[in-house]
């Protein structure tokens, strides 16, 4: 799960992570009021969307008067913000964060995430703050310092010091930096984060160390024990079809192609998308109906796939293990009648009771293209979209 910058900062503040003062705003008037409340003479107006690179896309502006706050807020609110993380379609900005301006001496980077190769959490720090960290990692990996966290010992003070020294922090900034790292790690651990990233982390001219930006992602598998996160979900940031699918307990991701697919199992679903591509089509979605493919899930799946107007054919690929293919076939027939599918549907059912399933599909009188194997399914998809 992802949250907005202002939400991440609200959480981090509770763990003692140092931050600039700020307030979120839904409207231009709210934004001006927020600036007045914060006081001072410089403010930053920041678009709140679930993507990085907002500054480059024109979503972050420094205002030196309340009039400028008003001007920038009205420019940014409602704009279609395109960044390297949003894709070409961008995102409409509906929320702002207004923050007090600060005098920056240095911009650094800190990130915490799981290192899968060692199965340990990793705290990363770099002097190359404010840049795309992926670029730094690719071009100058030596500029990313890493400390791996032992599960039993936890993130040790010496590790925080090593990173702070590595960043070249001295005096007050060193002390503040060590404290910052420890607080951030505490938040990461306590909140079941999959990512906590501060880019940039700024050192101010008076030696404060503050999170200028903040990104937190949470482990979806741990959301049950953090009920406080549920209200932070912003449905505007999600595809409406994906929201619909999640209500039906389907794992659906919308893509841009023309062949819809419905599969059991995530790996086979990805494999099926790959096959569609090899067959000359483009997958319109990822859809894993999971272990319980029945009439209801198939119907819900059909509705969601067909709501995407780009879809010209559907491929259903179920490998029945514990799931029985005859039941899936019955579900497919029922659902196709109910939903009135008017485009070609290629059905490939393998495994338990696959033959019986073929008979059910054939006897339905509906125009299913029944495939015997994965390869056959791919060929039939090619025909269907030709």
Partner 1 sequence: MSILVNKSTRLLVQGITGGEGTFHTKQMLEYGTNVVAGVTPGKGGLSYKGTDKDPFAREVPVFNTVAAAVAATKANTSVIFVPAAFAADAIIEAADAGIAVIVCITEGVPTKDMLTAYDHVTRTGARLIGPNCPGIISPGQCKVGIMPGFIHKKGNVGVISRSGTLTYEAVGQLTERGIGQSTCIGIGGDPVIGTRFIDALQLFNDDPDTIGVIMIGEIGGSAEEEAAAYVKKHMKKPVVGFIAGRTAPPGRRMGHAGAIISGGKGTAQEKMDAMRKAGITVVESPALLGETMAKALGKRSRTSTGKGAPKTTKRTAKKSATKAIPKKSARKPARKKK
Pick the binder of partner 1 from 224, 231, 340, 386 (CB under 8 A).
Answer: 224
# binding residues, partner 1 (CB under 8 A): 56
Q: Can you read off the two tokens belonging to residue 142?
A: 């030596």
Give the residue with the Cβ less far from partner 1, 163 or 276.
Answer: 276
Nearest residue (CB) to partner 1, 40 versus 240: 240
> Is 322 an interacting residue with respect to partner 1 (CB under 8 A)?
yes
Which stretch, 21-29, 149-157, 204-212, 338-346, contacts partner 1 (CB under 8 A)?
A: 149-157
What token pair was written down for 334? 């029922």
* Residue list 154-213, contact with partner 1 (CB under 8 A): 189, 192, 194
| Distance in Å, CB of 308 to partner 1, minimum | 15
Q: Which of 255, 306, 339, 343 binds partner 1 (CB under 8 A)?
A: 255
Between residue 109 and residue 148, which ones bind partner 1 under the rule CB under 8 A?
A: 114, 116-117, 119-121, 133-134, 137-138
Beta-bridge mates of residue 313: 259
Q: Does 151 bind partner 1 (CB under 8 A)?
A: yes
291 and 237 in contact (C-beta within 8 Å)? no
Site membership for partner 1, residue 375 (CB under 8 A): yes
229: tokens are: 């996160």
Q: Among all chains, which residue has been given the structure tokens 């059910």? A: 360
Could you give the CA distance from residue 346 to residue 353 in angstroms, rounded to a whole number?
18
Q: How far is the C-alpha of 118 from the C-alpha of 249, rounded, in Å? A: 33
The reply to whether 197 belongs to the active site is: yes
Query: Residue written as tokens 């599918």?
Result: 341
Establish if 59 lies at the interface with partner 1 (CB under 8 A). no
Binds partner 1 (CB under 8 A): choice among 7, 182, 264, 330: 264
Give the x/- contact pattern for partner 1 in 75-94, rule: CB under 8 A: ----------x---------
Q: 29 or 134: whose CB is closer to partner 1?
A: 134
Q: Does 271 bind partner 1 (CB under 8 A)?
A: yes
Site membership for partner 1, residue 283 (CB under 8 A): yes
Query: Per rule CB under 8 A, is residue 288 in the interface with partner 1?
Result: yes
Q: Name the token pair of 64.
A: 């030196």
**188 among known catalytic residues:** no
Cα separation, 297 vs 301, whole angstroms: 6
**Which token pair is 11?**
């959480």
How distant, in Å, are the alpha carbons of 73, 250, 316 from that of 245?
34, 5, 17
Reported as type and span, the H/E element at residue 80 is strand 80-81
29, 67, 206, 220: residue in contact with partner 1 (rule CB under 8 A): 220
Q: Give the DSSP per-residue string, 157-211.
A: HHHHHHHHHHTT--HHHHHHHHHHHHHHHHHHHHTTEEEEEEEEEEEETTS-EEE
**Annotated catalytic residue, options 5, 128, 147, 197:** 197
Q: Strands 60-63, 43-47: parallel, antiparallel or unpaired by DSSP? A: antiparallel
Give 221's contacts (C-beta < 8 A, 6+ positions apart).
Answer: none
**Rounded distance, CA 244 to CA 133, Å?**
34
Residue positions annotated with a catalytic role? 109, 197
| Interface residue list for partner 1 (CB under 8 A) | 85, 114, 116-117, 119-121, 133-134, 137-138, 150-152, 189, 192, 194, 219-222, 224-225, 251, 253, 255, 263-271, 273-278, 282-283, 286, 288, 319-322, 350-352, 373-375, 378
């Amino acid at each position: 799960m992802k949250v907005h910058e202002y939400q991440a900062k609200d959480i981090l503040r509770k763990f003692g992570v140092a931050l600039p003062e700020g307030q979120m705003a839904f409207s231009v008037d709210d934004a001006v009021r927020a600036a007045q409340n914060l006081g001072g003479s410089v403010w930053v107006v920041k678009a709140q969307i679930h993507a990085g690179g907002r500054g480059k896309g024109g979503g972050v502006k420094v205002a030196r008067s309340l009039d400028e706050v008003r001007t920038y807020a009205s420019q940014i609110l409602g704009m279609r913000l395109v960044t390297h993380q949003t894709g070409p379609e961008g995102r409409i900005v509906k929320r702002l964060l207004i923050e007090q301006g600060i005098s920056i001496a240095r911009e650094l980077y800190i990130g915490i995430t799981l290192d899968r190769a060692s199965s340990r959490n990793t705290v990363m720090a770099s002097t190359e703050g404010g840049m795309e960290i992926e670029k730094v990692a690719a071009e100058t990996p030596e500029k990313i310092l890493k400390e791996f966290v032992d599960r039993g010992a936890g993130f040790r003070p010496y590790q925080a010091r090593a990173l702070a020294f590595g960043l070249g922090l001295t005096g007050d900034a060193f002390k503040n930096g060590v404290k910052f790292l420890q607080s951030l790690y505490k938040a990461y651990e306590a909140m079941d984060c999959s990512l906590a990233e501060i880019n940039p982390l700024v050192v101010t001219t008076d030696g404060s160390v503050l999170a200028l930006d903040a990104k937190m992602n949470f482990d979806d598998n741990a959301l049950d024990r953090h009920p406080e996160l549920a209200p932070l979900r912003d449905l505007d940031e999600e595809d409406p079809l994906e929201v619909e699918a999640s209500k039906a307990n389907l794992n659906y991701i919308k893509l841009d192609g023309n062949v819809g697919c419905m599969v059991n199992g995530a790996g086979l679903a990805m494999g099926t998308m790959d096959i569609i591509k090899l067959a000359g089509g483009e997958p319109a979605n990822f859809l894993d109906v999971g272990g319980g493919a029945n009439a209801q899930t198939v119907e819900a799946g059909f509705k969601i796939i067909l709501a995407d107007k780009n879809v010209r054919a559907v491929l259903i690929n179920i490998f029945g293990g514990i799931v029985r293919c005859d039941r899936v076939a019955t579900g497919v027939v029922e659902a196709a009648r109910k939903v009135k599918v008017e485009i070609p549907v290629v059905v490939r059912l393998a495994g338990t009771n696959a033959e019986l399933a073929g008979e059910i599909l054939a006897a339905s009188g509906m125009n299913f293209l029944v495939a015997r194997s994965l390869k056959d399914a791919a060929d039939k998809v090619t025909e269907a979209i030709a």
